[in-house]
Amino acid sequence: MGIFDFLKGQFIEVIEWLDGTGDMVYRFPVYDNAIKMGAKLVVRESQAAIFVNEGQIADVFGPGTYTLSTQNLPVLTALRSWKYGFNSPFKADVYFVSTRNFTQLKWGTTNPVLMRDAEFGMVRLRGYGTYALRVGDPALFLKEIFGTQASFSAEAIAGYLKSLIVSGVSDLLGESRIPAIDLAASYDELSQTAAAKLQPRFAGMGLSLTALTVENLSLPEEVEKAVDRRSSMGVVGNLDTYLKYQSAEAVREAANNPGGDAGAGIGLGAGMAMGQALGRALAGPGEPAGDAAAPAASGAGSAARSESPPSGSQPARSGEGPAGGSPADSSAPTKKFCSECGQPLASGAKFCSNCGTKV
């Protein structure tokens, strides 16, 4: 091989990028930056090729196949002050930028977002979702973000983009004033509004935010428990009716198992107690409770005792009336009382009208 064949082999004749890495930007590895004038440049769909001369962006090529010459390298020709018909090899950096859509990128709140809610007051929200982007302006993206690295992936700026999204979504939540309970019904609207709000920030870096999805906005555990308790009360409905139902269920359970492990006596006592509770629950606002018989009986006894003469008075002497005057009328009926509850008995009654005891 002669010296000219050796020199010819050192010049790049085909410049292309077979994108199999998923990178956003790829720097073509030219040998000593020597590109042959007349070399082929192959730019595939969803790609862009950028020539950089000494750190300055020169010409940008879209999809297609090109034969490099001074005609299709106008900026580089002007920078190099090439004359028309220049055919010598030249040195330049060539970057390929992927313009395809990068999907399934994740965003999420690192710390809870504090917001004011009309119902719960100050609450902290956590959220997460996905977004998608593409390079809208390859030259601007190369200038603002990429720099001079050999390759660049979407993950390299994921942290910065995530902070932009979280900031935008947090600001949107504060402005929207949507109640925390109704956030789940507004995910689509929040996603669309947030994407439109963040689009100018992405465009300033040569990027285009093609999609943003809010997958979840969650409340703190304490607030979720409070919501669950409130939901339970809503399911119960009327609390008085619910208590009556619970009392009836307790009585039924006691009837099915009156003894249990504690014995028949304890089971009977528990059943009586629950029966009294049921009576109180079923009693109307103006009705006495079912267990008021004992107080009534004691009241009747007091009434009976009140019929006896006061302790300070003298008992009537034989043959005198109540006032110590004329003798009492022997024909007057004698007043009788129930032996069980002390309730006064009607004349000729065979049963006590209060407790039903046979006279």
Report the phi/psi class of residue 85: left, alpha or beta, with left for phi > 0 and alpha for psi in -120 to 50: left
- Between 269 and 143, whose confidence is greater? 143
Q: Are 36 and 89 in contact (CB under 8 A)?
A: yes
Q: How many domains does the chain have?
A: 3
Same-domain check for residues 204 and 248: no
Query: What's residue 281's pLDDT?
Result: 54
**Residue 240 forms beta bridges with which residues?**
none
Query: What's residue 298's pLDDT?
Result: 44
Residue 293 lies in a domain: no
Query: What's residue 99's pLDDT?
Result: 92
Q: Are 98 and 25 in contact (CB under 8 A)?
A: yes
Q: What is the pTM of this model?
A: 0.58
Query: What's residue 98's pLDDT?
Result: 92
SS3 14: strand
Same-domain check for residues 124 and 89: no
* Mean of pLDDT over the chain: 75
The alpha carbon dihedral of 197, 200, 205, 206 has a sign of positive
SS3 209: strand
Same-domain check for residues 131 and 217: yes
- Between 234 and 163, whose confidence is greater? 163
Query: What's residue 147's pLDDT?
Result: 67
Cα–Cα separations (whole angstroms), residue 303 to 27, 46, 173, 306, 342: 110, 105, 73, 5, 8
Q: What is the pLDDT of residues 292-308, one digit of tens each?
A: 444 444 444 444 444 44
Mean pLDDT of 258-286: 54
Check pLDDT > 80 for residue 285. Answer: no
The alpha carbon dihedral of 148, 150, 154, 156 has a sign of negative
- Between 348 and 97, whose confidence is greater? 97
Same-domain check for residues 215 and 122: yes
Residue 89 lies in a domain: yes
Check pLDDT > 60 for residue 312. Answer: no
196 phi and psi, to 5 degrees?
A: -65, -35
Q: Name the band, by pLDDT with cuts 50, 70 and 90, for residue 316.
A: very low
Mean pLDDT of 122-127: 84
Check pLDDT > 80 for residue 217. Answer: yes
Same-domain check for residues 220 and 272: no
Same-domain check for residues 82 and 195: no
Same-domain check for residues 107 and 219: yes
- For residues 12-42, one letter each, b for 16 or more C-beta atoms within 10 angstroms of the residue's C-beta and e for the rest, the string is beebbbeeeeebbbbbbeeeeeebbbebebb
Residue 232 lies in a domain: no
Residue 248 lies in a domain: yes
Residue 307 lies in a domain: no
Q: What is the pLDDT of residues 6-64, one digit of tens each?
A: 444 578 889 999 877 778 889 898 766 688 888 999 999 999 999 998 888 999 999 99
Same-domain check for residues 117 and 197: yes
Check pLDDT > 70 for residue 79. Answer: yes
Range of the domain at 272: 238-282
Residue 337 lies in a domain: no
Mean pLDDT of 201-218: 92
Q: Are 281 and 243 in contact (CB under 8 A)?
A: yes
Q: Are 139 and 206 in contact (CB under 8 A)?
A: yes
Cβ-based neighbour number of residue 101 at 10 Å: 13
- Between 86 and 45, whose confidence is greater? 45
Residue 338 lies in a domain: no
Q: What is the pLDDT of residues 125-171, one digit of tens each?
A: 889 999 999 999 999 998 888 766 667 778 888 888 999 999 999 88
DSSP class of residue 314 equals P
| Separation between Cα atoms, residue 256 and residue 66, nearest integer Å | 93
Same-domain check for residues 118 and 170: yes
Query: What's residue 348's pLDDT?
Result: 76
Residue 30 lies in a domain: yes
Same-domain check for residues 94 and 106: no
Q: Which of 122, 125, 145 is nearest to 135 (CA)?
A: 145
Query: What's residue 258's pLDDT?
Result: 60
What is the identity of the amino acid at 270? Answer: A
Same-domain check for residues 116 and 94: no
Same-domain check for residues 125 and 61: no
What are the residues whose beta carbons fall under 8 Å from the beta carbon of 172, sequence distance 6 or more?
190, 193, 194, 197
SS3 270: helix
